[in-house]
Structure 1
Amino acid sequence: MSDIMRFRKNKRACDGGNAVELSGSSEEANEVSNSLDHEVAHLTKLRSRPHQHLRGIMPGKLRLPVSTLKMLMGRESNYSGRGRFSSADASHVLSRYLPINGPWGVDQLNSPAYVSQFSNDGLFFVAWISGIGGHIRIYNVDKGWQVEKDILVKRLSWTVTDTSLSPDQRFLAYASMSPVVHIVNAGSSTTESVANVTEIHEGLDLSVDCDDDDFGIFSVKFSTDGREIVAGSSDASIHVYDLQTNKVSLKIQAHTLDVNTVCFADETGHLIYSGSDDNLCKVWDRRCFRTKGQAAGVLMGHLEGVTFIDSRGDGRYLISNGKDQTTKLWDIRKMSSRNMFPRITNYDWDYRWMEYPAHARTSRHPNDQSLATYRDHSVLRTLIRCYFSPAYSTGQKYIYTGSSDHSVYIYDLVTGTQVAKLVHHDGPVRDCSWHPTYPMLVSSSWDGSIVRWEFPGDDQVPTLVKPRVRRRRVFY
């Protein structure tokens, strides 16, 4: 029985009212007020709060969570008058079953795992395992984590820095510390994809007007329509590659130092977010860039470089991880037209092999524009990633992040409370991914392990499962 099918079975038992709910212990809310007084707090509640008619089944207790059992009873008796759950009702139920139990093994490798991401529909999972002759593996989640495609990367410069699966899941883009982004046909019948031997890995050259011999790409993302790729590079630039015309359509000299992370803000593709070692997050509006020639806005608040950005998908809110050991929540309507605070470089500290200075943890940016700051995790050794929790199952009411202290942290977006800390790995957790529809989270670590965390159902014992590689005879 697949993990997803097992969850469907177990969830029916949970919905009967016997589920163990997460109590959510926390230390201080880390600069986040008890109730974030901002529109994002209200939007989050709207997307994860039961319908007012269902809340009415507990008169006088509207501020308390409505139990799953009472909500199901209200739905069956058509208490709301609609005969079904709204999306907010569903996310209210699902968000109470956090993926905190386990872990169960997905794979165990002899080299560090750098990148791990679910596809948009959750059917596939992509992981990058570094080392000589490193592999990108695509696992079929519904088929017991069977390896659907094993991609052997050639002519690799240092390591694969990022991967991105196209929205239709037909193509996989991967980048390294070179000017070329490679594209693999993820949907082809070739299981063992050896670069340019069993399958062509098409190269997209981004080195337009670039004389830097050390040019490398840190971040690469498909647009939501799959027609473009945006990349952030070591020459402090953002590159947009048009896959239809097969050329770079836009290059932006975006920052003063490495661009570690880029992403499209929403499905329109007009807005791009970027984060850099110059401590800044920036917003770029392609509709007016050619006339203005500068960022639409600058977001200040981090005291060290930005390692990752995730968009809420609404073209308005984003979160970022920084080497100042914080995650920050931003509203682009609060951005400035320019950087008003000079970057202060601490030449005595390097995040790759040193601990963050204790005295620096109490420092605050004098012009901090962020809505909230979350701090408990550590952003050291590598470019640690952070994300909003899924909209479908949680209403995006949480944010979660890997950590160099070998853990995964989950915070309440509104209160800042640390609601869970997942501890298992023996190395930094660079990346982690929450399944888009089920309470399942997968973390990957430098210890070579890729594991999944789930909400429990029956008495399951965490085990390490070595995935099967689907074999096909290849003629060439």
Structure 2
Amino acid sequence: MGVIDDFEPPLKRLKGPPVVTKEDTLHKLAESSSSRDSMAMPLSSQRENETVGLKGIIRKHEFVKIINRALCSLGYSKTATILEDESGIPLHSSAATLFMQQVVDGKWDQCLATLHIIGPTDEVTLKSAFFFILEQKFLDHLREGKFMDALLTLRNDIVPLSINSGRIHDLSAYIINPSQFLALGLSDQDTAIAISRAKCLENLQNLLPAAMIPERRLEHLVEQALDVQRDACLFHNTLNHDLSLYSDHQCGKDHIPSETLQILQEHKDEVWFLQFSHNGNYLASSSKDQTAVVWEVKEDGQLILKHILSGHQGAVSIISWRPDDSQLLTCGADEAVRRWDVSSGECLHVYEKAGVGLISCGWLADGDGIISGMSDKTICLWDLDGHMVECWKGQRTETISDMSVSSDGKIIISIRGGNTLLLFNRELRCERMIEEEQIITSFSLSKDNKFLLVNIVNQEIHLWCIAGDPKMVSKFKGHKRSRFLVRSCFGGFEQAFVASGSEDSQVYIWHRGTRELLAKLPGHSGTVNCVSWHPTNPHMLASASDDCTIRIWGISNLKCKGTNLYNGKIRHQPNGRT
């Protein structure tokens, strides 16, 4: 005792003979007895009862296996082997390893025999596993040109399972017309078979996870955890690549754009409408001053003037971006629609009809035609050269109406009769209607074409789901509207928020799911007529007001370097500081 080996760590070296007390001896005897009792238990049973984590709900052997599987998927096979050796927990049993190899090699009869060793005890799962194996056996025969063997497998093995009748009909069709199936695969037969068997193995792993850990199981669990954290985050407005595994995710209120970063003052009168382009590279605004303005969004988040579009004889009320953002439509109040080239600022065409004013406009999905709402309460389709291709006289619009076209160009949405929205299907020539109790002033279509924000004259915004039979799902309240047309929009990460203008000169922001009012943004000195959320930057929001300005809202850590606000205008600082 007291002899020190050179290779021992200093902290573990004894400084002198240990003093052994009576209590120490009794403690060691108790530990020895406990250890013997523990060793008497079957090793597998002991491991199955071990847990990790503070709550004791994670089985250690499952946890180790999933980590091992992730290491293999990442290409760290040597590390995975070391983990197996140190933990004594193999990734798969020898029977499961044999089974997976048999699937890869196409030894189907042997697969069925091994399945009974590793497979489940319940009949439903066992039948499903049998179906995957026999289906792959059938497809192999088909690819190898053994049509009679494929037929016998289908008739004698697959059909008696009495499951997946729809898939059995597909397989039967392949027998009748093999070329139909072969046309779906690769020209290289060996490659096609290997890919098909790999897919079969993946299906079996998902069906029998206790025997064979599914591929990317750890990644799936981590993604689930992040999804739960994200869904529970009231202010979540962060792109996916900003999420981290190092800490629990929680966005603060400062992730909502609530700070004025820039004020745009080019318009000489009330700004009625604005909208970001689909790619977010531009912002277009329209005004009572008879102009529209195109602003370019720079990489640093600053907006600079690109074009002033002049030519309308009255106020410009509506703007619509072409799907590829190369062109822009502007609609004068009860006047004409003008089509502009965004790059040059040139007016490419003026759409007008004698004695009739155009009051709203939108693009077809391919960008090769436009749709306009007319003052005679019709909706017309024009080609780019200005020829009226079609006109629907039954679909009536009001002078205050919005009009929107779904991204696939199939559905035209417009206001009808004041308190009704018409959803007209151009292909099926059928219509659905949304009826409100109060007058509708404006509406906004979600990016996925499944939801509508409907602004009502009674100072409410209603969220309607229009996928299938229309139904109202939420109401948003708090903003002020008594005399003017005020617009709202979806926005933020995955359009999780609703923003709206208001007659009290503020911008209102609600959480779309909880309907909670999250922020009121002061700054404007007149009615906020319209808002637009940047389509790719969830931290940028624009608002247009009767005070003749446009405000760009953001979060504090995204302030543009080299600029500062001074008396409502941009003042550049040469030292790069604000």
For Structure 1 versus Structure 2, the TM-score category normalised by the shorter chain is 0.5 to 0.7
1:451 aligns with 2:551: yes
- Deviations 1:286-331, CA, capped at 9 Å, x for gaps: 1121xxxxx5211112412x22222123343211112222111112
The answer to whether the 8 Å contact 1:238/1:259 transfers is no
State the SS of the aligned residue for 1:387: strand
State the SS of the aligned residue for 2:298: helix
Matches of 1:129 and 1:331, distance apart in 2: 31
Taking only the aligned residue pairs, the percentage that are identical comes to 22
1:223 aligns with 2:373: no
The answer to whether the 8 Å contact 2:261/2:559 transfers is no
Which of 1 and 2 has higher RCO (CA within 8 Å, sep 6+)? 1
Q: 1:412 aligns with which of 511, 519, 532?
A: 511
Q: 1:282 aligns with which of 389, 400, 422?
A: 422
The answer to whether the 8 Å contact 2:329/2:337 transfers is yes
Matches of 1:431 and 1:58, distance apart in 2: 32
- With over 3 angstroms needed to count, the CA separation of the structure-2 counterparts of 1:431 and 1:171, relative to structure 1, is same
Q: 1:53 aligns with which of 217, 222, 226?
A: 222
Q: Which amino acid in the other structure matches residue 453 of structure 1?
A: W
- With over 3 angstroms needed to count, the CA separation of the structure-2 counterparts of 1:380 and 1:51, relative to structure 1, is farther
State the SS of the aligned residue for 2:376: coil
State the SS of the aligned residue for 2:495: coil
- With over 3 angstroms needed to count, the CA separation of the structure-2 counterparts of 1:407 and 1:217, relative to structure 1, is farther
Q: Which amino acid in the other structure matches residue 121 of structure 1?
A: N
After the TM superposition, which of the residue ranges 139-148 and 318-327 deviates more from structure 2? Answer: 139-148
Matches of 1:126 and 1:70, distance apart in 2: 28
Matches of 2:552 and 2:486, distance apart in 1: 18
The answer to whether the 8 Å contact 1:261/1:308 transfers is yes
**Residue in 1 that maps onto 2:295:** 139
Matches of 1:316 and 1:69, distance apart in 2: 22
**Residue in 2 that maps onto 1:15:** none
**Residue in 2 that maps onto 1:97:** 255
Q: 1:229, CA displacement in angstroms?
A: 1.7
- With over 3 angstroms needed to count, the CA separation of the structure-2 counterparts of 1:176 and 1:244, relative to structure 1, is closer
Q: 1:147, CA displacement in angstroms?
A: 1.4
Structure showing greater radius of gyration is: 2
The answer to whether the 8 Å contact 1:259/1:274 transfers is no
- With over 3 angstroms needed to count, the CA separation of the structure-2 counterparts of 1:206 and 1:420, relative to structure 1, is farther
The number of residues matched between the two structures is: 345
1:319 aligns with 2:456: no
Matches of 1:107 and 1:372, distance apart in 2: 35
Q: Which amino acid in the other structure matches residue 172 of structure 1?
A: L
- With over 3 angstroms needed to count, the CA separation of the structure-2 counterparts of 1:315 and 1:441, relative to structure 1, is closer
**Residue in 2 that maps onto 1:301:** 436
1:106 aligns with 2:208: no
Q: 1:185, CA displacement in angstroms?
A: 1.9
Q: 1:70, CA displacement in angstroms?
A: 13
- With over 3 angstroms needed to count, the CA separation of the structure-2 counterparts of 1:307 and 1:229, relative to structure 1, is farther
1:386 aligns with 2:488: yes
The answer to whether the 8 Å contact 2:565/2:571 transfers is no
Q: 1:448, CA displacement in angstroms?
A: 0.6
Matches of 1:93 and 1:51, distance apart in 2: 23
Matches of 2:226 and 2:423, distance apart in 1: 45
Q: Which amino acid in the other structure matches residue 288 of structure 1?
A: L
The answer to whether the 8 Å contact 1:107/1:466 transfers is no
- With over 3 angstroms needed to count, the CA separation of the structure-2 counterparts of 1:94 and 1:285, relative to structure 1, is farther
Matches within 5 A, 1:136-215: 136-142=292-298, 144-154=302-312, 156=313, 158-178=314-334, 180-188=336-344, 199-206=346-353, 213=355, 215=356
Q: 2:494 aligns with which of 395, 412, 423?
A: 395
Matches of 1:399 and 1:73, distance apart in 2: 23
Matches of 1:249 and 1:204, distance apart in 2: 14
Matches of 1:167 and 1:58, distance apart in 2: 31
Q: Which amino acid in the other structure matches residue 327 of structure 1?
A: I
- With over 3 angstroms needed to count, the CA separation of the structure-2 counterparts of 1:451 and 1:296, relative to structure 1, is same
- Deviations 1:255-288, CA, capped at 9 Å, x for gaps: 37446011112x2211111124521111101112
Matches of 2:224 and 2:331, distance apart in 1: 49
1:465 aligns with 2:569: yes
- With over 3 angstroms needed to count, the CA separation of the structure-2 counterparts of 1:458 and 1:62, relative to structure 1, is closer
Q: Which amino acid in the other structure matches residue 451 of structure 2?
A: Y
- With over 3 angstroms needed to count, the CA separation of the structure-2 counterparts of 1:57 and 1:397, relative to structure 1, is closer
Q: Which amino acid in the other structure matches residue 316 of structure 2?
A: V
The answer to whether the 8 Å contact 2:378/2:391 transfers is no
- With over 3 angstroms needed to count, the CA separation of the structure-2 counterparts of 1:412 and 1:252, relative to structure 1, is farther
Q: 1:137, CA displacement in angstroms?
A: 1.3
State the SS of the aligned residue for 1:296: strand
- Deviations 1:397-430, CA, capped at 9 Å, x for gaps: 1111111221111111121111111111111111
- Deviations 1:138-188, CA, capped at 9 Å, x for gaps: 11110742211121224x1x3112112222222221111345311122212
Q: Which amino acid in the other structure matches residue 270 of structure 1?
A: K
Matches of 1:184 and 1:63, distance apart in 2: 41
State the SS of the aligned residue for 2:255: coil
* CA-atom RMSD in angstroms: 3.7
Q: TM-score, normalised by structure 2?
A: 0.53
1:272 aligns with 2:377: no
Q: 1:69, CA displacement in angstroms?
A: 13
Matches of 1:181 and 1:259, distance apart in 2: 16
- With over 3 angstroms needed to count, the CA separation of the structure-2 counterparts of 1:104 and 1:387, relative to structure 1, is same
Q: Which amino acid in the other structure matches residue 130 of structure 1?
A: K
Q: 1:95, CA displacement in angstroms?
A: 9.8
Matches of 2:291 and 2:227, distance apart in 1: 53
Q: 1:55, CA displacement in angstroms?
A: 5.5
When you count strand as a share of all residues, which structure comes out higher?
Answer: 1
Matches of 1:225 and 1:395, distance apart in 2: 24
Matches of 2:450 and 2:226, distance apart in 1: 35
- Deviations 1:334-392, CA, capped at 9 Å, x for gaps: 658xxxxxxxxxxxxxxxxxxxxxxxxxxxxxxxx5222212113343322111115xx
When you count helix as a share of all residues, which structure comes out higher?
Answer: 2
Q: Which amino acid in the other structure matches residue 446 of structure 1?
A: D
- With over 3 angstroms needed to count, the CA separation of the structure-2 counterparts of 1:326 and 1:233, relative to structure 1, is farther
1:122 aligns with 2:280: yes
Q: Which amino acid in the other structure matches residue 382 of structure 1?
A: F
The answer to whether the 8 Å contact 1:235/1:258 transfers is no
State the SS of the aligned residue for 1:425: coil
- With over 3 angstroms needed to count, the CA separation of the structure-2 counterparts of 1:54 and 1:129, relative to structure 1, is same
Matches of 1:106 and 1:326, distance apart in 2: 29
1:377 aligns with 2:524: no
Gaps of 5+ in 2: 1-218, 573-578
The answer to whether the 8 Å contact 1:164/1:222 transfers is yes
The answer to whether the 8 Å contact 1:120/1:167 transfers is yes
State the SS of the aligned residue for 1:253: coil
Q: Which amino acid in the other structure matches residue 454 of structure 1?
A: G
Matches within 5 A, 1:358-377: 369-377=471-479
The answer to whether the 8 Å contact 2:397/2:415 transfers is no
- With over 3 angstroms needed to count, the CA separation of the structure-2 counterparts of 1:234 and 1:58, relative to structure 1, is closer
After the TM superposition, which of the residue ranges 307-316 and 243-252 deviates more from structure 2? Answer: 243-252
- With over 3 angstroms needed to count, the CA separation of the structure-2 counterparts of 1:283 and 1:97, relative to structure 1, is same
Matches of 2:369 and 2:459, distance apart in 1: 32
Matches of 1:62 and 1:110, distance apart in 2: 43
State the SS of the aligned residue for 1:382: coil
The answer to whether the 8 Å contact 2:490/2:533 transfers is no
Q: Which amino acid in the other structure matches residue 488 of structure 2?
A: C
